[in-house]
Amino acid sequence: MSGFGYAKGLYDANIWASLYDVVKPERRGTALGFMNSMAWLGGSAGPVAVAYAAQTLGMGAAISASSIVYLLTGFLLLWGVRTFMRTRPA
């Protein structure tokens, strides 16, 4: 349990710091609230979705299907970087 707490602390400290690096100061409150809302939404929907999938498909298939979420998230991140992180001429 202490390992989880340590890793969670590192994650939280770095995710908010990275947000502050890329968001303008006047928009940080909104961005932080949006990120926090999405995290709680995903965190609350995850157990329900896995329980439903485990009952209908089996636990092994439910865990394997979680790779789809990681792939979609990866593609979304790549799309976001290509779309919003374009280099601007100096």
Residue 31 in contact with residue 19, Cβ under 8 Å? yes
- Any idea which residue has 């439903």 for tokens? 52
Question: Residue 64, CB half-sphere, CA atoms under 13 Å: how many?
Answer: 5
Q: Give the Cα separation of 26 and 31 in Å (integer).
A: 10
Domain membership of residue 29 (yes or no) is yes
- The sign of the dihedral angle between the CA atoms of 15, 36, 82, 25 is negative
Domain membership of residue 33 (yes or no) is yes
pLDDT tens track for 52-61: 999 999 999 9
Domain membership of residue 90 (yes or no) is no
pLDDT tens track for 31-82: 999 988 988 898 899 899 999 999 999 999 998 988 998 899 999 989 988 8
3-state DSSP assignment of residue 44: helix
pLDDT tens track for 4-29: 778 777 877 788 888 888 889 999 99
Our count of domains for the chain comes to 1
Distance of CA 3 to the CA centre of its chain: 20
Domain membership of residue 89 (yes or no) is no
- The residue segments making up the domain with residue 45 are 2-84
